[in-house]
Amino acid sequence: MTGKIRIGVIGASGYTGADLIRLAVRHPAIEITALTANTYAGKPVASVYPHLAPLNLPDMVKNEDVDWSKLDAVFCGLPHATSQELIATLPEHLKIIDMSADFRLRDPAVYEATYGGPHKAMHLQKEAVYGLTEHYRQAVKQARLVACPGCYPTATLLVLLPLVKAGAIDAGDLIIDAKSGVSGAGRSLKQNILFCEAGEGMTPYGVATHRHAPEIEQEIAVVAGKPVLVNFTPHLIPMSRGELVTAYAKLAQSATAADCAAILALAYKNEPFVHMAPQGIFPATQQVRGSNNVMLGAYADRIPGRVILISALDNLVKGSAGQAIQNFNLMFGLPETQGLEQVALFP
């Protein structure tokens, strides 16, 4: 493709929209042509995010005021249940990278049970590709609509899928303990994410009811060849970004933790963004902050026959905007790492 690829960011005033802009503005093949935020229509992005003030960006507009014919692709960062209706109205020539939950679940009954209402664009669900890049790369390349995974599923599935596929762990006995920075709860005003509520403490939420559990189960079932149920509990921790997943699994047959580490290393040996933690070091959010990288590790449990699996990523980058650009690159035949070369910020 010659020339710049003209993109729009729908929902530019959210955290994922802002991080998408931060990454896209330095992408050599991208021209940011439209930014939407109905609440802030007519205002510059700097009025919401002053750190973006030095950039030459268009003002934010309402969704209905965008001339879609002047765009080649859109990134959608709207809340769940709002993306589907807008995406259904977009012209066929647009490639769509959806960072919401609207097209992740393939079964309409599961979607309705999980999100509290029927899916309103099931005709598009049939063509949507689940955008876990490392496991759906070839399908992403051919897709018009990609549904980027949630941040928790990304961290969880990257460490579990190769092991379930290899038969090294029992897919029917998985305990997933997940922790996210407060940006994972979104930018809207909620009592539980006020500083005095979220600071200086750690809080479980969505216990046994979190919406990412069915998404995790859907993808594990694909490689397990049978339905699965997982024990998934997320927590908010008092930092802005970052995510750490610790999964506890029963080893299958004679497999060991060392076998699990070897399987993961082999599965991701040619992947630019998924890495095994160095010997003697545990994955940590500090190792991936601000980058599109994921750090994995597998360790023997004190309980015989069990393994502890750890995955760390930045929930706003590899867990959202970075993975979206990674998929965008594939959809347009660009180098997969383009625009995503940032080294993690430390300290």
Instruction: List pLDDT tens digits, range 99-124.
Output: 999 999 999 999 999 999 999 999 99
Of the residues 127, 144, 171, the one at which a domain ends: 127
Rounded to 10 degrees, the C-alpha dihedral 159/164/167/168 comes to: 30
Question: Do both 122 and 186 map to the same domain?
Answer: no
Using CA atoms, how far residue 85 sits from 63, 160, 209, 334, in Å, is 12, 33, 25, 29
Question: Do both 270 and 165 map to the same domain?
Answer: yes
Of the residues 127, 162, 187, the one at which a domain ends: 127
Percent of the chain exceeding pLDDT 70 equals: 99
Question: Do both 217 and 78 map to the same domain?
Answer: no
Strands (E), the chain: 5-10, 30-36, 60-61, 73-76, 95-98, 129-130, 145-147, 169-181, 203-204, 231-237, 243-251, 274-276, 294-300, 306-313
Question: Do both 71 and 114 map to the same domain?
Answer: yes
Do 169 and 252 meet the contact criterion of CB atoms below 8 Å apart?
A: yes
Domain span at residue 73? 5-127
Question: Do both 220 and 106 map to the same domain?
Answer: no
Give the whole-angstrom CA distance, residue 321 versus residue 104: 16
Question: Do both 103 and 157 map to the same domain?
Answer: no
Using CA atoms, how far residue 106 sits from 48, 111, 112, 278, in Å, is 35, 8, 11, 37
Q: Tally Cβ neighbours within 10 Å of residue 306.
A: 17
* pLDDT over threshold 60, residue 83: yes
CATH number, domain of 12, equals: 3.40.50.720
Give the whole-angstrom CA distance, residue 303 versus residue 241: 32
Of 255, 230, 262, 263, the residue nearest 245 (C-alpha): 230
Residue 138 lies in a domain: no
Asked which of 1-10, 134-143, 146-155, 208-217 is least confident by mean pLDDT, the reply is: 1-10
Of 164, 155, 108, the residue nearest 132 (C-alpha): 155
Residue 333 lies in a domain: no
Amino acid at 16: T
Strand, coil or helix: 181: strand
Question: Do both 214 and 123 map to the same domain?
Answer: no
Average pLDDT on 212-228 reads 98
pLDDT score, position 192: 78
The beta-carbon contacts of 271-278 under 8 Å, at least 24 apart in sequence, are 271/134, 272/336, 272/337, 273/134, 273/318, 273/326, 273/337, 273/340, 274/134, 274/158, 277/310
Question: What's the distance, CA 118 to chain centroid?
Answer: 23
Residue 322 lies in a domain: no
> Residue for token digits 């060991």?
256
Question: Do both 118 and 198 map to the same domain?
Answer: no
Residue 142 lies in a domain: no
List the beta bridge partners of residue 130: 147
Domains contained in the chain, number: 2
List the beta bridge partners of residue 5: 30
pLDDT score, position 127: 94
* pLDDT over threshold 90, residue 197: no
Question: Do both 264 and 118 map to the same domain?
Answer: no
Do 324 and 8 meet the contact criterion of CB atoms below 8 Å apart?
A: no
CATH number, domain of 192, equals: 3.30.360.10
Of the residues 110, 127, 144, the one at which a domain ends: 127
Question: Do both 201 and 251 map to the same domain?
Answer: yes
Question: Do both 45 and 95 map to the same domain?
Answer: yes
Question: For residue range 20-75, what is the model confidence (pLDDT) as tens digits?
Answer: 999 999 999 999 999 999 999 999 999 999 999 999 999 999 999 999 999 999 99
* pLDDT over threshold 80, residue 228: yes
Per the residue annotation, which of 76, 148, 151, 260 is the catalytic one?
A: 151
Question: Do both 238 and 284 map to the same domain?
Answer: yes
pLDDT score, position 77: 93
Of the pLDDT bands very low, low, confident and very high (cuts 50, 70, 90), residue 194 is confident
Whether 151 is a known active-site residue: answer yes
The pTM assigned to this predicted structure is 0.95
* pLDDT over threshold 90, residue 164: yes
pLDDT score, position 2: 54
Average pLDDT on 326-334 reads 98
Higher pLDDT, 253 or 88: 88
Give the whole-angstrom CA distance, residue 174 versus residue 170: 7
* pLDDT over threshold 60, residue 1: no
Q: Tally Cβ neighbours within 10 Å of residue 281.
A: 11
The contacts of residue 70 (CB under 8 Å, 6+ apart) are 6, 33, 34
Residue 329 lies in a domain: no
- Chain mean pLDDT for the chain: 95
Residue 293 lies in a domain: yes
* pLDDT over threshold 70, residue 162: yes
Residue 340 lies in a domain: no
Residue 36 lies in a domain: yes
Residues in the chain: 347
